[in-house]
Amino acid sequence: MLELKNLSKTYRTGDKALQNVTLTVPKGQVMALIGPSGAGKSTLIRCINRLVEPTSGSVILDGTDVTALGSGALRKMRRKMGMIFQQYALVERLTVMENVLSGRLGYVGFWRSYFRKYPQADVDEAFRLLDRVGLLAMADKRADELSGGQRQRVGIARALIQNPRLLLVDEPTASLDPKTSRQIMRLICELCAERDLAAVINIHDVALAQMFVERIVGLKAGELAFDGKPVEMTEDVLTNIYGEEDWHATIREVDDEDAEAEEPVA
């Protein structure tokens, strides 16, 4: 469904952030992207929806070459790609509801969005999503009144109301405590399963990735360094991607006690 072909990005500073990345993500697959800081994970995700323009190569979503689109068609294409950000990236001074509804901006005209007169179907869907992420009561609160975990849930609702085919998730848990991190990862993966969405998730926390996703791709200095199942993620692979360290504690034991211990979701 998503295909990256020889994707490269060289920044104006000369940094080669991505070099010839070729990758296919099938429908409904949740894929984690790991790698050290500066390996090009954020760049890769932003090249897919062209918040960053790739230097060469192509991004193909459902048979359409995203890199070849003009600005109008690109906007239409972005509706199919929901994005979730590291620092939540909610517009702080807007209400929770406005933030969620802003996911519909690609579908409604300017004046409708300006006067916040969204179609009833959009408003209903926003309420449904807020209820799904457990924040229905917060709809009229300003985004900056929420806690980190709550904000990220709003960010998830905003991405989902776009009715996307693909989720681009940039470090969703980097600013969250360990428990909230797991809840957020679980929520994202559950929602992907419910809606048969593919997802590319940038993540620092290797153990967390192994816990939730079905495929891990490692990026090192802008190049693919690993592509496989979570169980294939060995200490050698980590050493190859990140460099020498004692990885023993990082890799999840097969019978992790947490797996059962934290079943209930808040």
User: Is 104 a binder of other proteins (CB under 8 A)?
Assistant: yes
Q: Give Cβ neighbours of residue 152 (< 8 Å, ≥ 6 apart).
A: 84, 88, 172, 173, 176, 180, 184
Q: How far is it, in rounded angstroms, from Cα 163 to Cα 129? A: 11
One of 102, 150, 152, 180 touching other proteins (CB under 8 A): 102
Helix orientation angle between 178-195 and 148-160, rounded to the nearest 10 degrees? 10
Instruction: CB nearer to other proteins: give 114 or 120.
Output: 114
Residue with tokens 């975990």: 149
Binding mask 200-239 for other proteins (x = CB under 8 A): ----------------------------------------
Binding mask 31-50 for other proteins (x = CB under 8 A): ------------------x-
User: Is 75 a binder of other proteins (CB under 8 A)?
Assistant: yes
Q: Is 105 exposed, middle or buried (0-12, 13-18, 19+ CB in 10 A)?
A: middle
User: Is 181 a binder of other proteins (CB under 8 A)?
Assistant: no
Q: Which of 55, 50, 45, 54 is nearest to 25 (CA)?
A: 45
One of 8, 43, 152, 162 touching other proteins (CB under 8 A): 162
The binding site for other proteins (CB under 8 A) comprises 49, 51, 75-79, 81, 83, 85-87, 89-94, 98, 102-107, 110, 113-114, 155, 158, 162, 168
